Amino acid sequence: MKASVRKRLENVVPHPRYGKWIRTSDSKVDVDAINRTRRFERGEVFMETAIPADVTRQKPSVFQRVVYFDVLKICRTCGRDFIFYAEEQRFWYEELMFYLWSSAVDCCECRQDAQQLRKRNERFTQFSNAMASELLDDDSLVQFVEDAIFFWQERILIKRQKLNRIKNLSHRRLPDHPVTLKIEQFTRVLDQHCNAKNA
């Protein structure tokens, strides 16, 4: 193994299930099968990690992945190295039935962050619809206010009127709750920045 690859392996993003090191396999895999499958992956391929694939469990395709192997890749989001593990590929293509030309482009941490952001966005959209019809219970309203502040800070929520409506609803329904104080203080700071900019 090249010294440069070994150094990259020392700093990979750890996978919660598979760790941070390549996982050598005892499987006997045909070298031609490995070479045919390599076309699917960009990155440093570790032949010693090859495990055979069950093509009958994959989504039909012109080219089948007949073998899986660990691949060292660079995350497109954070730029750190990560390993797309052979076992993870088997799960993707044989259990989840992902298309065979799909591949991991983000490390597991960035994928998890993106998944949490999607869930939070879905919840925020659901709460927004419920807010319009006054169907939010108090616990949901607290979460809605927290999400609104988060989305404003991340520049996902950009309409100040919506933020003000959420603040007013929180003030009306939960006047003494800490989240109401938090959003009032947050909007006060935004007003101060806005006034300072305009001065």
pLDDT digits (tens, 9 = 90+) for 128-186: 878 766 778 889 999 999 999 998 988 888 888 989 999 999 999 999 999 999 999 99
Q: Are 108 and 15 in contact (CB under 8 A)?
A: yes
pLDDT digits (tens, 9 = 90+) for 12-42: 999 999 888 888 888 777 767 666 666 666 7
Q: Are 41 and 103 in contact (CB under 8 A)?
A: yes
pLDDT digits (tens, 9 = 90+) for 68-115: 989 999 999 999 999 999 999 999 999 999 998 888 999 999 999 999
Instruction: Work out the pLDDT band at 43, boundaries 50, 70, 90.
Output: confident
